[in-house]
Structure 1
């Protein structure tokens, strides 16, 4: 029986060592980490997006002082098209800024339907261009 005693102690020691090293289990456990998909960036408000843009700041101030909001809104049609509709139709180019500023000053009819846009002859060309630049920034 003396032969069995060292053999038994060796077997027990080996078993303890095997279990403590992870070899004593038939089931394997693996951990996987999944990274959640990146959340979409929060859409910035117009004020946040253009807070440092001089065309936006000056154009918005001029719009607020004018009669434009009685016929136009940023994203909703009232009498005339929304500013967003105008921005979607026209690229922000110097040629379009001049064209649209001229229509603001002289008035226009037929471009957006049969309701005429009244003329604004007292508006300076510089202010009209600034207002148009503001509108064209609203392109989505």
Structure 2
């Protein structure tokens, strides 16, 4: 019969706490899309509505509204960068953004509400 060492109470407690903290870390809540955009400095170049360096998120949403392939294409542009879509402005590669986070960001950008046009005079 194999010899199973007996654990003292402090040993058992430390193992139980380590297991619980590992489980809690694995179940950390996902960041919201806005938090992901802030964490990855998206707003350093993009405004919510209007162009800064790159187009505003509402402008992007408007361009791709109704395009079923847009979420995957936009997620790819987030991770791999692009040039020429909005003129000569370069969207740099964001290789530190995971595939899953790029999908979340793309869906969030494309879900921006349609902007009201000012009335014509």
Q: Same fold (TM over 0.5)?
A: yes
RMSD across aligned C-alpha pairs, in angstroms? 1.6
**Which residue of structure 1 aligns with residue 73 of structure 2?**
99
Structure 1 length-normalised TM: 0.56
- CA distance in structure 2 between the partners assigned to 1:68 and 1:74 by the alignment: 10
Q: Which runs of 5+ in 1 are unaligned?
A: 1-56
1:114 to 85, 88, 94: 88
1:71 paired with 2:45, answer yes
> Whose radius of gyration is greater, 1 or 2?
1
**Which residue of structure 1 aligns with residue 63 of structure 2?**
89
Report the count of equivalent residues.
Answer: 84
- CA distance in structure 2 between the partners assigned to 1:81 and 1:98 by the alignment: 18
Structure 2 length-normalised TM: 0.64
Q: Which runs of 5+ in 2 are unaligned?
A: 1-30, 115-121
Q: Which 4+ stretches in 1 moved above 4 angstroms?
A: none
Offset from partner CA, 1:68-89 (integer Å, 9 cap, x none): 1110010121010000000001
- CA distance in structure 1 between the partners assigned to 2:106 and 2:48 by the alignment: 13
- CA distance in structure 2 between the partners assigned to 1:126 and 1:92 by the alignment: 22
- CA distance in structure 2 between the partners assigned to 1:125 and 1:93 by the alignment: 20
